[in-house]
Amino acid sequence: MKRPISFEIEKRGAGLARAGVLKTPHGEIKTPAFTPVATKASLKGIAPSQFKELGVQGIISNTYHLFLSPGEKLIEQAGGIHKFMNFDGPIMTDSGGFQVFSLGVGFGKKVSKFSSEEMFDFVNPTDGFTKSNIAPVVFDEEFSTSHGKLAIVDDEGVSFTSHIDGSFHRFTPERSIEIQHALGADIIYTFDECTSPTADHEYQKEAMDRTHAWAKRSLAAHRQDPAKDASQGIYGITQGGRFEDLRIESAKALADMDFDGYGIGGSFSKQDILGILEVVDNELPEGKPRHLLGIGEPEDIFIGAAAGIDTFDCVVPTRKGRTGCFYTHAGQIIIRNAEFKEDFSPIDPDCDCFVCTRFTRAYIHHLFRTNEMLGPILGSAHNIHFLTKLTANIREAILNKRLGAFRDEFFGTYQI
Amino acid sequence: MKRPISFEIEKRGAGLARAGVLKTPHGEIKTPAFTPVATKASLKGIAPSQFKELGVQGIISNTYHLFLSPGEKLIEQAGGIHKFMNFDGPIMTDSGGFQVFSLGVGFGKKVSKFSSEEMFDFVNPTDGFTKSNIAPVVFDEEFSTSHGKLAIVDDEGVSFTSHIDGSFHRFTPERSIEIQHALGADIIYTFDECTSPTADHEYQKEAMDRTHAWAKRSLAAHRQDPAKDASQGIYGITQGGRFEDLRIESAKALADMDFDGYGIGGSFSKQDILGILEVVDNELPEGKPRHLLGIGEPEDIFIGAAAGIDTFDCVVPTRKGRTGCFYTHAGQIIIRNAEFKEDFSPIDPDCDCFVCTRFTRAYIHHLFRTNEMLGPILGSAHNIHFLTKLTANIREAILNKRLGAFRDEFFGTYQI
């Protein structure tokens, strides 16, 4: 049966780098590509009618957020996420795994471990928990006092409280797929367990094994709905944390399942993951597309593309942009700084986006200093364009067999 | 000498209504027209490249705000306000009078009166104040405790503290014109004293006389700079509060001065001013354009246009829009309300703006409920378009001699 997602490699570069075309039911993405994050079915400050101008070929949206508000049923009722947000291009939805753990547990904070027995005190026994079916889990140690965040993992799935209203919910692989079917994106992801960056090898291995089991269950749940299986592609997410042996094991395990593509996940410092991308991509089927989940600043995109990543997403560019940190070919600038008050040059003289061709640093400095809405809008737009254009240029470089030379040129001026 | 501003009446309607064309150095405005407020050289959430699509022919910006930040010198250095904000169409700047009084004194709050002698305690004697040259003034009674707001009027001008950082400044008619020359708008305004809505006839008369003297001085200051006089038109502002006799006196006094057009000002409830617009406009030279300052919701525009007003501005549409209150042909709707959660119809089925043709109420409800930036952007855009289109339709109705019929049609569905 013809799959809804297909991928063609147009040209191979040095090492694992490749330029290709990812075909989806809502159009193509020429890769490598930066596909920005529209967390709640909205790219911050940007209407879908502006996507083309900003070089946005596709986006990724968040299952966890859309599940909580407005709810997947409403989006299904609207005719799916494309109609809901009025974007007719390729859309992915992640599985919610990352958000359940990061928002539920307080990712990135100091964590501590709780035993299964300790965990039992937090769960609702009517949900079917027993002391033996709850896995030990790492928690933000302040969860019970500061914000009541809570996520409890067991072999069946994860129970968690909403970061919005504290309401209690439960995701299983089957439930995540059910929600993603209702949302109706072109590409959906398997439900995975995101561990803490400080998790040890033992816990990481345990979580990875659970992630593999959940990947199988996610795939089975997807296949069970032939209409959805025919209209939505599914990517498996590999995990394994910062441990190379686990990364290889995870990539092999996922490669053995019949996915349309692969997401490379992980809740840990990006230095760790980038170093082992080649290891992972070497194990994944060469002809399938690969998405690097949640990592995509300029230096990451160069490393990722060289290691065979096809698509990237990251909230950092829009978050930085709307708070006044702009990418330029010389590095990042904080536009509020006094040095830009009388600077009548564009944000980036080497950029052709509408922000750089129409407005000066002095004007945008003024917008941020006086809290005008237009400032964050321009910041979001410019940074998105900067990354889509950079990735398009990386693609061109791969097609022309000069990725290394282009990287040297870029970092000849760009200061991290 | 040919004036930079000219006005042609194309057609007269019933009463004082007229449709015309206002010509400025940066293009024409077909009147009646709604010219939205870009307080700090930015229309909230909207880039100038979108103005045309939203029916925005021209805008008005605020001298007081731009003086405080980024400062008129910087805008002059940028090549003037048109280049600074990248809008090549007609721009007006108000004189700062309204803001000095409303932001300085706390307009709309409970006010109390201070004698000249009492006032002297607040001023800096090195600024040339004596007990006799300070006029009594109404103050927000909490000014000294809650926010340190302070404005002190004397016959020469007004001393006030910034609402941003409390720094002390002084505007005179000459200084206001000097700032507006640096800003470089197509139409500038005379410096006026805006009184409290509760001011009595005696104080209102005194303030009005001062406003007339300041109008003469503003005009003289403008004429003294032949280059600016040739490139910027100047409007005189009539005052008189809620008192018909003063309104007539003020209109006559201003009519006797050679302005390019007239602003009708006032810091009081809009019910009062709309009732006497006809009285004022009857006294003003028929061939000169008239701008109603700061008042422009749908019902006001109908009343104003019928009374011979040519252009309108108001911050309410953008303020309402970005907080989720949308104009529709059935009245205003609060999009956050639960009733719109599953409403897949457009904001206003009778509107052809990009918000209504592309997005549903359910989606915009979701954007506001989840604090997505795109919500306020769409609100600002739709409401601006609603008013520019309404005013364009009023113009059409005047041209077709059916303003009354159009008003009846509009209010047949629109609930205030």
- Measured between alpha carbons, how far is B225 from B12 in angstroms, rounded to an integer? 35
pLDDT in tens, B216-267: 999 999 999 999 999 999 999 999 988 999 999 999 999 999 999 999 997 5
**B325 within some domain:** yes
Cβ within 8 Å, pair B78-A362: yes
For residue B256 the two structure tokens come to 């006797």
Q: Strands B233-238, B6-12: parallel, antiparallel or unpaired by DSSP? A: unpaired
Considering the domain boundaries, does residue A212 fall inside one? yes
Residues of chain A with Cβ-Cβ distance to B74 below 8 Å are 341-342, 362, 366
Q: What is the pLDDT of residue B167?
A: 76
Instruction: Give the separation between CA B384 and CA B391, rounded to whole angstroms.
Output: 11
| The residue to which tokens 């596909």 are assigned | A35
Tens-place pLDDT, residues A37-64: 999 999 999 999 999 999 999 999 999 9
Is the peptide bond prior to A32 cis by the omega test (within 30 degrees of 0)?
yes
Work out the average pLDDT over A300-312: 95
Domain count, chain B: 2
Q: Do the beta carbons of residue B246 and residue B205 sit within 8 Å? A: yes
CATH number of the domain encompassing residue A79: 3.20.20.105
What are all long-range contacts of A222-225, with beta carbons under 8 Å and residues at least 24 apart?
A222/A177, A222/A181, A222/A188, A225/A181
Residue type at A66?
A: L
- Tell me the residues of chain B between 66 and 105 that have a Cβ less than 8 Å away from chain A: 69-70, 74, 77-78, 84-86
| Residue B269: predicted pLDDT | 64
Are residues B386 and B336 part of one domain?
yes
Q: Is residue A55 part of a domain?
A: no
Range of the domain at A153: 102-161
**At which of A114, A141, A161 does a domain end?**
A161
CA pair distance B222, B188, nearest whole angstrom: 9
CB contacts, 8 Å: A42 with chain B: 367, 372-374
Please, which residues have CB within 8 angstroms of residue B369's CB and are 6 or more apart in sequence? Answer: A69, A70, B336
Residues A401 and A331 in one domain: yes
Instruction: Confirm whether B110 is domain-assigned.
Output: no
Q: Distance between CA B170 and CA B100 in Å, rounded?
A: 9
Query: Is A331 in the same domain as A266?
Result: no
3-state secondary structure of A254: helix
Strand order in the sheet with B151-153: B151-153, B158-161, B168-171
A340 and A291 both lie in a single domain:
no
Please indicate whether, in this complex, the C-beta atoms of A376 and B373 are within 8 angstroms of each other: yes
> For the ranges A380-394, B150-164, B176-190, which has the lowest average pLDDT?
B150-164
Upper half-sphere CA count for residue A2 (Cβ side, 13 Å)? 5
Classify residue A238 as left (phi > 0), alpha (psi -120 to 50) or beta: beta
Give B416 to chain A, closest Cα distance, Å: 28
Does residue B174 lie in a domain region?
yes
Residues A113 and A178 in one domain: no
End-to-end alpha carbon distance in chain B: 46
Do B85 and B217 fall within a single domain? yes
Range B116-123 contact pairs with CB under 8 angstroms and sequence separation of 24 or more:
B119/B152, B122/B150, B122/B152, B123/B152, B123/B159
Average pLDDT over residues B321-331: 97
Between B114 and A216, the more confident residue is A216
Whether chain A has a CB inside 8 Å of the CB on B49: the answer is yes
- Contacts with A48 from chain B: Cβ below 8 Å: 358
Q: Which of B229, B281, B300, B313 is catalytic?
A: B313
Domain annotation covers residue B370 = yes
Cβ-nearest to A45 among B41, B365, B373: B373
Write out the H or E segment, with its range, that includes residue B298: helix B298-306
> For B122-135, how does the pLDDT look when each residue is reduced to its tens digit (9 = 90+)?
454 555 555 555 55
Of the residues A94, A229, A260, A310, only one is catalytic, namely A94
Which of these three, B314, B338, B367, is where a domain ends? B314
Question: Closest Cα partner for B294 from B97, B6, B27, B87?
Answer: B97
Show which of A255, A278, A309 is a domain's final residue.
A309
Question: Residues A362, A346: contact at Cβ < 8 Å?
Answer: no
pTM of the complete model beyond 0.95:
no
Nearest to A168 by CA among A68, A93, A94, A63: A68
- B61-87 average pLDDT score: 97
Mean residue pLDDT of chain A comes to 88
pLDDT, residue A152, reads: 77
pLDDT at B136 exceeding the cut of 50: no
Quick check: B170 pLDDT over 90?
A: no
ipTM: 0.90
Q: Which of B40, B322, B341 sits opposite A70 (nearest CB)?
A: B341
Q: Where are the beta strands (DSSP E) in B125-180?
A: 137-140, 151-153, 158-161, 168-171
Give yes or no: A94 in active site: yes
Instruction: Answer yes or no: do B309 and B337 share one domain.
Output: no
Closest CA to B91 of B33, B40, B44, B24: B24
Interface contact flag, A377 B342, Cβ < 8 Å: no
Backbone angles phi, psi at B150, to 5 degrees: -165, 130
Distance CA A310, CA A316 (A): 19
Same domain, B325 and B306: no
List the structure tokens of A131: 């002391």
Q: Which of B44, B49, B380 sits opposite A354 (nearest CB)?
A: B49
User: Tokens 């000849």 — which residue?
Assistant: A412
**Residues A390, A408: Cα–Cα separation, whole Å:** 13
Q: Are residue A343 and residue A401 in the same domain, yes or no? A: yes
Closest Cα in chain B, distance from residue A169 (Å):
19
Q: Is residue B143 part of a domain?
A: no
Cα separation of B200 and B236, whole Å?
Answer: 23
| Catalytic-role residue among B94, B281, B300, B348 | B94
State whether A373 and B44 contact (CB < 8 Å). Answer: yes
Query: Which residue in A45, A69, A372 is closest to B370 by CB distance?
Result: A69
> Are B236 and B327 members of one domain?
no
Q: Which residues of A touch B64 (CB under 8 A)?
A: none
Question: Are B329 and B304 part of one and the same domain?
Answer: no
Contacts of A114 (CB under 8 A, 6+ apart): A136, A137, A138, A139
Same domain, B219 and B350: no
State whether A342 and B44 contact (CB < 8 Å): no
On whether residue B162 sits in a domain, the answer given is: no
Label residue A258 left, alpha or beta by phi (over 0 means left) and psi (-120 to 50 means alpha).
beta
Closest chain A C-alpha to B247 CA, distance in angstroms: 36
Q: Is B329 on the interface with A (CB under 8 A)?
A: no
What is the pLDDT at residue B133? 56
Nearest CA to CA, how far is A80 from chain B (Å)? 12
Q: Which amino acid is located at B324 in the chain?
A: G
By the CB < 8 Å criterion, does A368 face chain B? no
